[in-house]
């Protein structure tokens, strides 16, 4: 007999989704992770990678034949927005890293330890 307790359904994070819905769910999860300010301060390189991945996935989704033309148009616009936002985030991180390396006071601030 196994000593492990069976997991309850609500504890399992796996879901069976059609391929296109799985890509959408992954993209939304990445967007959620990207938006977390505490993670951005702790892992800036990871956040930059998430932004690039979000941009790529939105571009791929914008060309997916299973999605309606209108939805693909919205995704194409989002992809362009994320591409610009990722470039700005990368430039800001580069500037902040330079300021931190120089030991100078600048416009770069760490995220708060906790949110209110």
Domain boundaries, the chain: 17-101
Kindly tell me if the per-residue pLDDT of 103 is higher than 60: yes
* Dist CA 60 CA 109 (whole Å): 34
* Dist CA 80 CA 86 (whole Å): 10
Whose tokens are 């296109």? That residue is: 20
Residue 9: both structure tokens together? 């359904």
The pTM assigned to this predicted structure is: 0.66
* Dist CA 34 CA 28 (whole Å): 10
* Dist CA 51 CA 71 (whole Å): 21
* Dist CA 72 CA 62 (whole Å): 4
Which of these ranges, 19-33, 78-92, 94-108, has the smallest mean pLDDT? 94-108
Higher pLDDT, 86 or 110: 86
């Amino acid at each position: 007999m196994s000593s492990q307790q069976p997991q309850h359904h609500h504890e399992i994070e796996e879901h069976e989704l059609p391929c296109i819905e799985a890509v959408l769910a992954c993209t939304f999860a990445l967007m959620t992770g990207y938006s977390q300010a505490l993670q951005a301060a702790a892992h800036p390189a990871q956040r930059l990678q998430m932004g690039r991945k979000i941009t790529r996935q939105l571009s791929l989704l914008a060309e997916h034949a299973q999605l309606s033309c209108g939805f693909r148009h919205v995704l194409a616009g989002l992809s362009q927005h994320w591409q610009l936002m990722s470039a700005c985030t990368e430039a800001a991180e580069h500037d902040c890293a330079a300021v931190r390396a120089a030991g100078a006071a600048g416009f770069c601030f760490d995220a708060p330890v906790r949110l209110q």
